[in-house]
Amino acid sequence: MGSNSKRILLTGGAGFIGSHLADALIRRGNELSIVDNVDDFYASSRKRRNLQEIGNAGSYQFFEVDIRDRDALRKAAERATPEVIIHLAARAGVRPSIEQPALYESVNVGGTVNLLEIAREFKVQRFVFGSSSSVYGVTNSVPFCEEDLSIRPISPYAATKLAAELMCYTYTHLYGLAAICLRFFTVYGPRQRPDLAIHKFTALIESGKPIPVYGNGSMGRDYTYVDDIVAGVIASLEYAPDPKQPFEIFNLGNSHPVRLTELIAQLEMATGKKALQERLPEQPGDVPITWANIDKAKRLLGYAPKTAMEQGLRNFVAWYRSSINSIEPS
Ligand SMILES: NC(=O)c1ccc[n+]([C@@H]2O[C@H](COP(=O)([O-])OP(=O)(O)OC[C@H]3O[C@@H](n4cnc5c(N)ncnc54)[C@H](O)[C@@H]3O)[C@@H](O)[C@H]2O)c1
């Protein structure tokens, strides 16, 4: 069986990144099963709509299952018989994780362990984990490098992502599971989560309301277009890791941090409207900058982000305007 026709179990496929990846996997010829509990972190109607749109790419199996429910997950895996697991389901978001650390821990760490157990039991060939740039925390050494072992996450969300990466490593060591952790850097594009800056700001600009600017607006983010992230995930399916220790971490970013003030200016251009701004104090848990060193991903995965921010924002605003009337507010 060619690598493009493998049976893939994708968790979080109803979400923002997962739904784009699902489209690409189906088009690539994979036999796809999605596990997602369509949770209410933001309007589940958006996720149901994503699931419907994935259907335009082709057929797939869907299991409405909570990854914390080991028995239900096992039953889904029995039907999906996956050769590869791509695990993106998570409670996302830095700020809400400070309010609900135990929930984040149970979904992001406990849920990942449940999936690693499935991978072990079903002798899965490869486990790809959707990690986050937030694991780097506050560090003076930019751009962020995968080899940096002195990283200290500063939010429960970030800590759960690092803990889950460590669990992946442990399963490689104990059972020889090939595990690849991909640290995504602030992903944007059509279907983006409504809690993320670009989506939130666009909604406020479009309705003439002020956007909250935390701190002095100098905060930098390495915004990465979702198609580039999807290309990186797909490349990680082709990559042959060292058989003696098949564990790797890759940054998937754009390697071009953009200040908040610059983002707002670019959004003004993309929307053709002036943004009103409200200055607010810095938020706990927010890191001052994210900036990916992508040399390793370039070298080993052939990863090369292609989408300039100007184009990416234009695509996002076009999607936002076309979908605004047909989705519930979150
Ligand atoms: N969007 C970003 O900028 C970004 C950056 C870094 C890392 N990530 C990671 O990428 C992944 C996807 O993020 P996203 O932005 O698409 O988020 P999203 O919230 O749109 O997608 C996550 C999906 O997981 C599902 N889910 C949540 N809890 C679940 C549970 N208990 N059981 C089953 N499914 C559950 C949700 O219903 C949702 O469809 C997450 O792991 C996130 O931490 C995202």
Ligand 1: centre distance to CA 273 (Å):
30
Ligand 1: centre distance to CA 75 (Å):
22
Atom of ligand 1 nearest to the CA of 38: 37
- pLDDT mean by block of 10 residues, the chain; 330 residues: 77 98 97 98 96 97 98 98 98 96 98 98 97 91 92 95 98 97 98 96 97 90 98 97 95 96 97 96 86 98 98 98 72
* Ligand 1, atom 43, residue with closest C-alpha: 92
Our mutation pick for probing the ligand 1 site, out of 9, 36, 40, 105, counting the most ligand atoms within 8 A of Cβ, is 36
Q: How far apart are CA 106 and CA 67, in angstroms?
A: 10
Prior bond to 96 cis, omega within 30? no
DSSP helix/strand/coil, 46: helix
CATH annotation of 3-185+225-253+291-305: 3.40.50.720
Instruction: Establish whether residue 116 lines the binding site of ligand 1, counting it when its CB lies within 6 angstroms of any ligand atom.
Output: no
Ligand 1: centre distance to CA 12 (Å):
6
At 285 the pLDDT is 79
At 179 the pLDDT is 98
Q: How far apart are CA 266 and CA 256, in angstroms?
A: 14
26 membership: H or E segment, kind and range = helix 16-28
Q: State yes or no: is 171 an active-site residue.
A: no
Instruction: Establish whether residue 37 lines the binding site of ligand 1, counting it when its CB lies within 6 angstroms of any ligand atom.
Output: yes
Spatial neighbors of 277 by CB under 8 A, at least 6 apart, are: 210, 211, 213, 264
At 150 the pLDDT is 87
Q: Which of these is catalytic: 157, 171, 303, 320?
A: 157
At 284 the pLDDT is 83
Instruction: Establish whether residue 15 lines the binding site of ligand 1, counting it when its CB lies within 6 angstroms of any ligand atom.
Output: yes
Query: Would you kindly state where each structural domain of the chain is located, as residue ranges?
Result: 3-185+225-253+291-305
Backbone angles phi, psi at 290, to 5 degrees: -125, 140
Give the number of other CB atoms < 10 A from CB of residue 198: 25
Q: How far apart are CA 120 and CA 316, in angstroms?
A: 39
Q: How far apart are CA 71 and CA 326, in angstroms?
A: 36
Instruction: Establish whether residue 14 lines the binding site of ligand 1, counting it when its CB lies within 6 angstroms of any ligand atom.
Output: yes
pTM confidence score: 0.97
Instruction: Establish whether residue 67 lines the binding site of ligand 1, counting it when its CB lies within 6 angstroms of any ligand atom.
Output: yes
At 1 the pLDDT is 43
Instruction: Establish whether residue 39 lines the binding site of ligand 1, counting it when its CB lies within 6 angstroms of any ligand atom.
Output: yes
At 216 the pLDDT is 87
